[in-house]
Amino acid sequence: MPKRVILAYSGGLDTSVMVRWLTEKGFEVITYTANVGQGDELSEIPEKAKASGAVEAIVEDVREEFVREYCLPTLRALALYEGRYPLTASLSRPLISKKLVEYARKFRADYVAHGSTGKGNDQVRFELSVWALDPDIEVLAPVREWEFRAREEQIEYAKKHSIPVKVTKEKPYSIDRNLWGVSIECGPLEDPWEEPPEDAFQITVSPEKAPDDPESVTLGFERGVPVSLNGKKYDRIHKLVEDLNSIAGRHGVGRIDMVENRLVGIKSREVYEAPGATVLYTAYRELLSLVTDRFTFHYFLSHIPHEYAKLVYEGLWFTPLREAMDAFTSRLGDLVTGEVKLKLYRGSVTVVGRRSPNSLYEEELATYSEKDAFDHTAGKLFTKVWGLPLKVLGRRSKRTP
Ligand code: ARG
């Protein structure tokens, strides 16, 4: 029996060469390609994989599952790595890993393989996810050990073995795209002082080239799930995200340029585009703050976004910790029903209105008009007691200057 491996396959040069390389090492290769909204034409994938030597090629549309099971929980946690990165690439890895394990079982394969390098985060996410789901499956990462040093050597190898590769004029970037956003690195971006060239961007226009007029969007949520855009209902959330990406993208919303801390200790310059996710985060935060009391909202802000983002970034998706945090944020998400009105304009997204049946905003308490129902006399004693420690401090510094 040949050793069988399920390979996470993109159809690019690396993974095409990998099919052949694994075959030469004695493996029977089955490729797995997930449609996570990467925008590539996937209809030619099976033919291409087989021409490279795969015995079977699976292509699966997982867009809805990706958004519902991975992006939405992360949205409900308002998780942004180092306060900025909406974890687009990080989120697809656990899903792809889960699928690799499923197909490994189905096809009785003892191995799965991925195309990540030895200095990135993705190797960690793939491997930890697979181990958590099935520790008996061995994960192979050919890029970490094969002999190719340069792209040219791979092209040479591909030609020699008649592996179909499109030798287009290579853009200098490494791009990972899915419907939650795009990650761009390498080439001129490796100099953190260099402004990202316009051709690096895939799904947003530059704010300078965005329309002169702002555009309003209204997002509707039901129990923590985005369900409508400008009054139109969606039962497939990934469609809503796709539509929102194109609306916000044409206003230049959601570009992020940062130097981040990778798991392996390197600082790396990354450019991201997440137009839809940026609008969704802004809207979700707005509603969450409207429907949660101060104690809960502050607890959430101090404990969840940063911790959840780290967990996703660091490959810990399949852990009880993530499930427990999801339980917490889903409980709060149950309150997140309502609408948020936002304005998109030249790279910015601004909330201009919000409403919810679960709103804790009471106009009679907030108003400065004659409708005011707040007991102003309570303010005096409240301030006296709340401020007592400061009075005591003040007395001490007068005593011991
Ligand atoms: N730095 C990001 C992360 O670790 C993006 C990595 C995606 N890869 C790429 N080829 N751009 O999640």
Neighbours of 138 (CB within 10 A): 16
Query: Is the Cβ atom of 286 under 6 angstroms away from ligand 1?
Result: no
Query: Is the Cβ atom of 90 under 6 angstroms away from ligand 1?
Result: yes
The helix-helix angle for 305-313 and 320-333 (nearest 10°) equals 140
Neighbours of 243 (CB within 10 A): 16
Measured by CA distance, the residue closest to atom 1 of ligand 1 is: 270
Residue 224 phi/psi, 5-degree rounding, is 85, 5
**Domain ranges (residues) in the chain:** 3-63+79-160, 174-292+335-355, 369-396
Catalytic residue among 20, 63, 76, 122: 122
Residue 169 has a pLDDT of: 67
Tokens (6 digits) for 212: 């002169």
Pocket test for ligand 1, best of 174, 183, 310 (most atoms within 8 A of CB): 183
From the CA of 316, how far away is ligand 1's center (Å)?
16
- Is residue 273 within 8 Å of 181, Cβ to Cβ? yes
From the CA of 182, how far away is ligand 1's center (Å)?
9
Q: Catalytic residue at 14?
A: yes
Judge: domain 3-63+79-160, CATH 3.40.50.620.
yes
Select from 187, 160, 212 the least CA-distant residue to 52: 160
Q: How far apart are CA 68 and CA 95, in angstroms?
A: 11
* Integer angstrom CA distances of residue 351 from 241, 339, 345: 18, 11, 11
- Is residue 251 within 8 Å of 59, Cβ to Cβ? no
Pocket test for ligand 1, best of 270, 312, 313 (most atoms within 8 A of CB): 270
Catalytic residue among 20, 63, 76, 93: 93
Q: Catalytic residue at 129?
A: no
Query: Is the Cβ atom of 273 under 6 angstroms away from ligand 1?
Result: no
Q: Which residues of 42-78 are buried (b: 16+ CB within 10 A; e: fewer)?
A: beebbebbbebbbbbbbbbebbebbbeebbbbbbbbb
Tokens (6 digits) for 22: 């694994």
- Is residue 274 within 8 Å of 254, Cβ to Cβ? yes
Specify the ligand 1 atom closest to the Cα of 81: 12
Right CATH number for 174-292+335-355 from 3.90.1260.10, 3.40.50.1400, 3.90.1150.10, 3.40.50.1100? Answer: 3.90.1260.10
Specify the ligand 1 atom closest to the Cα of 184: 11
Taking 70 as the pLDDT cut, the residues of the chain under it are: 167-169
pTM of the full structure: 0.96
Query: Is the Cβ atom of 121 under 6 angstroms away from ligand 1?
Result: yes
Neighbours of 331 (CB within 10 A): 12
Residue 168 has a pLDDT of: 67
Work out the mean pLDDT of the chain and round it to a whole number: 97
From the CA of 176, how far away is ligand 1's center (Å)?
7
Specify the ligand 1 atom closest to the Cα of 88: 12
- Is residue 64 within 8 Å of 37, Cβ to Cβ? no
From the CA of 313, how far away is ligand 1's center (Å)?
10
- Is residue 33 within 8 Å of 59, Cβ to Cβ? yes
Select from 88, 81, 78, 87 the least CA-distant residue to 287: 78
Specify the ligand 1 atom closest to the Cα of 260: 1
Residue 359 has a pLDDT of: 98
Coil, helix or strand at residue 167:
coil
